[in-house]
Chains A and B, each alone.
Chain A
């Protein structure tokens, strides 16, 4: 039980890797989107493992509950067909360039990770997620409260700005997606 968090970390890490490969490799966009859902759910779990429990819930609520539903809605709405992968094989030169570039990118930034030794560990300590009868009183620790103090005191301006951005986003989406009266062609 000592290193259960580490085990969980690796579990979710591998699920996420697999899911993200699923996203970029699957022909069918609906399946891709579903892999992305898996990716998000395990990312949320990973947040939980790292102790950011409020964000974990938020991740599920926002990404899985809203954004991905929207994605799937759009995919279904415009009835996207399967993608044809044959062209990728045909254009080998470009594909190779892409792979090499991404590899170079990864290697470059991997240098960053080496700066930190493996002794630097993340503090995952939070007192939350306990069954009610083992906590003798009703006090339950979570990081939601601390987070809210941060949000509404230190970051109140960004918070308000974000709300405006969201509003603009909503209006913009409506304006863009609104159908022109005359059908094209």
Chain B
């Protein structure tokens, strides 16, 4: 195993694609939970980029960032899902297009 092997540009392209897929999911899906999951995809694609650059520059700060993002994501998932539950309790649906409280 001789050190440098994977071109960093590959990873960038991969993360871009993943990020865009996640974004598509956020924009097109109606189920809040699925949208939430798509957000997780976006988040993780950025994480991947962090890791790649961290290895690329040999600076562990990037990996630290991923570490912190994971911790935040855990908190965010807990809060988000709690919100989903209370939304569902109120509207009896998780379809985001049916929840239009913002309008009125």
Is there a contact between chains A and B in the complex with CB atoms less than 8 Å apart?
Answer: yes
Does residue A140 face the partner (Cβ distance < 8 Å to B)? Answer: no
CA distance in complex: A75, B95 (Å): 13
Residue contact A112 to B18, C-beta cutoff 8 Å: no
CA distance in complex: A81, B70 (Å): 29
* A interface, over-half SS: helix
Residue contact B16 to A110, C-beta cutoff 8 Å: yes
Residue contact A71 to B8, C-beta cutoff 8 Å: no
CA distance in complex: A123, B60 (Å): 12
Give the chain A neighbours of B89 by CB distance below 8 A.
179, 184
Contacts A16-B18, A165-B75 known; list 16 others, CB within 8 Å: A17-B18, A20-B22, A20-B25, A47-B48, A74-B85, A78-B88, A83-B29, A83-B31, A101-B27, A119-B7, A122-B55, A123-B58, A124-B6, A165-B72, A166-B75, A173-B81
Q: Which one of B8, B17, B74, B82 lies within 8 Å of A62 (CB-CB)?
A: B74
Give the chain A neighbours of B13 by CB distance below 8 A.
110, 113
A47 to chain B, nearest CB (A): 6
Residue contact A50 to B51, C-beta cutoff 8 Å: yes
Residue contact B76 to A169, C-beta cutoff 8 Å: yes
Minimum-distance CB pairs A-B, first 5:
A169-B75, A24-B25, A121-B4, A177-B82, A176-B82
- A/B interface sample: 14 pairs, CB < 8 A: A20-B41, A23-B34, A54-B63, A59-B70, A63-B40, A71-B36, A83-B31, A98-B28, A124-B5, A158-B64, A162-B71, A166-B75, A168-B75, A177-B81
Give the chain B neighbours of A139 by CB distance below 8 A.
none
Q: Which residue of chain B has the shortest Cβ distance to A43 in the bound complex?
A: B44
Residue contact B41 to A36, C-beta cutoff 8 Å: yes
Q: Which one of A66, A118, A143, A177 lies within 8 Å of B7 (CB-CB)?
A: A118
Contact with B along A166-185 (1 / 0, CB 8 A): 10111011111101000010
Give the chain A neighbours of B14 by CB distance below 8 A.
13, 16-17
Residue contact B66 to A55, C-beta cutoff 8 Å: yes
Contact with B along A70-99 (1 / 0, CB 8 A): 110011011010010001100000010011
Q: A-side interface residues toward B, CB under 8 Å?
A: 2-3, 5-6, 9, 13, 16-17, 20-21, 23-24, 29, 32-33, 36, 39-40, 43, 46-47, 49-52, 54-55, 58-59, 62-63, 66-67, 70-71, 74-75, 77-78, 80, 83, 87-88, 95, 98-99, 101-103, 105-106, 109-110, 112-114, 116-125, 143, 146-147, 150-151, 154-155, 158, 162, 165-166, 168-170, 172-177, 179, 184
B60 to chain A, nearest CB (A): 5
Residue contact A5 to B41, C-beta cutoff 8 Å: no
Residue contact B12 to A112, C-beta cutoff 8 Å: yes
